[in-house]
Structure 1
């Protein structure tokens, strides 16, 4: 079921205000328990890039088109 424009806006606000800070805490906790300083710098960089991008991939449909005008609103 596709979300309406207003529902996507509300969910995107919730994700940015609650979900993203929670993800940061979880990712920080996971990465702090790994011994990353024993890895090559390129591998460590790849891990940080993965954790930096991984949160948005499943949420892309929610954020798509939210910054534009409401397509369902009248003129």
Structure 2
């Protein structure tokens, strides 16, 4: 089931406004649990977690910045 353009816009807003801050708090909590690892390990974890959130949600953000393809051309 494909999402409509309007649904993708709404879900992308929900993900960015609510989901991403929650995910950031979770990532910082994981880093605190590791008790300050070496700098390169910390960088690798942050980069990995930074990419990890976007992979399953890329279909939500696909084409959101473009004009509505279902709208009538005036």
- TM score, norm. by length of structure 1: 0.88
Match of 1:72 among 48, 67, 70: 70
Number of positions where the alignment pairs a residue of Structure 1 with one of Structure 2 = 73
The runs of 5 or more residues in structure 1 that have no matched partner are: none
Residues 5-60 of structure 1: CA deviation (Å, up to 9, x unaligned): 000000000000000001011111111101342xx543332111101111111000
Q: CA RMSD in A?
A: 1.2
Runs of 4+ in structure 1 deviating by more than 4 angstroms, as ranges, are none
Paired residue for 1:46?
44
- TM score, norm. by length of structure 2: 0.89
The runs of 5 or more residues in structure 2 that have no matched partner are: none
